[in-house]
Structure 1
């Protein structure tokens, strides 16, 4: 199956996830067994043994590809690196910390494949988040404010588990932290989004790369930027070739 052109490319950004990355790759392979898929783990300049762990895992996982950043560039750039390298028409993303169970991925993929072309994204919605009360509170208010200002339809845009069409993603403007605004950006391009409840589990090893304060500092400028992008969007209507 690794020799055939994959239909699905699973893109996983990782940074300092030694002890979790290899297990996550094996779990993804089990969840997508029987499908034409590849896994692209993008190591965002880890300082631990993440890269070596993934390299060792390739011996038993022919679908696994490992890309490595020379400098830390953030989650959105890692996702973009993976999507640019992907060969599948459908992209499935998961957070590298293992909190998104890969077993939920096929349901998102199948819904996207069964949907008309104007549906470009199926987002996960964490039904029972296994995070601290402080993180849950901050996320709840951030989602409310973002939805109010951008008019998007996502209740949980921070969920890393998403399935989307590669072609649609490549039409979106790139900026750092754009992964949090994919639903709004898809709508800006004239696409539709769908959502499914997914599971969530506690982090097994390592620690979060984000804090509520760091998210707040980035989100203010990002939100203003996406509002500006929406205000400058002009749609051409139906495009026909004469």
Structure 2
């Protein structure tokens, strides 16, 4: 598995840190833990399921001086139909709830300036099911220098999908509820900020 491979690489890569949790705390918490543990100027996130071309990293890296938040855009997604439908539903939901249009808000191939990322994470609940979506939304809403870059995407050839269809639907509904609550919280924070400004 991924952990064993990374542990094996520690001898070759002295700077490699392998983060562990005692229990499987879910994808959202794992993403957040990785983000909050980062120490360098830029944070690159990619899933370890071999669905991306590592060479596409350079496309993002070359734009780092022009943008603080660079997200991959899976122009041709090699995923099952139900995942494609879910992705389109999320895109529409984000637009209807937040009024912003992001083509691939949950793409797990992204390069972000750490200082910007930490600020974006602050208002997001620790138990968020899909922090990448919320981070993308906030970046767009706050006017962060953000862009989406077309990247290759391949069908899964190794490993297994950890969420079966019915669980994915339940996960998606839970995520949608969190987005609605997130929107309400942002509105409340905005009103509080406006109230303090007028005082």
TM tier relative to shorter chain: 0.7 to 0.9
Partner of 2:101: 153
Q: Is 1:208 matched with 2:161?
A: yes
Q: How far apart are 1:126 and its partner, in Å?
A: 0.1
Partner of 1:222: 178
Structure in which a larger fraction of residues adopt strand: 1
Structure 1: 5+ residue stretches without partners: 1-17, 22-50, 238-242
Q: TM-score, normalized by length of structure 1?
A: 0.69
CA RMSD of aligned residues (A): 2.2
Partner of 1:90: 42
SS of match in other structure, 1:162: strand
Distance 1:128 1:161 in 2: 14
Match of 2:74 among 123, 126, 139: 126
Cα 1:149–1:107 shift into 2, 3 Å: same
Match of 2:134 among 181, 202, 208: 181
- Contact 2:72/2:150, CA 8 A, preserved across alignment: yes
Query: Which of the pair has the greater relative contact order for Cα pairs under 8 Å at 6+ separation?
Result: 2
Structure in which a larger fraction of residues adopt helix: 2
Q: Is 1:75 matched with 2:27?
A: yes
Q: TM-score, normalized by length of structure 2?
A: 0.82
CA-to-aligned-CA distance 1:93-149 (integer Å, 9 cap, x gap): 1012121222111211221x221xxx4311111011111122112211221222222
Partner of 2:87: 139
Partner of 1:37: none
Structure 2: 5+ residue stretches without partners: 195-199
Q: How far apart are 1:169 and its partner, in Å?
A: 1.4
Give the paired residue count: 185
Distance 1:75 1:165 in 2: 21
- Contact 1:153/1:183, CA 8 A, preserved across alignment: no
More displaced 10-residue stretch of structure 1: 123-132 or 77-86: 77-86
Distance 1:219 1:169 in 2: 20
Q: How far apart are 1:63 and its partner, in Å?
A: 4.1
- Contact 1:122/1:194, CA 8 A, preserved across alignment: yes
Q: How far apart are 1:194 and its partner, in Å?
A: 0.8
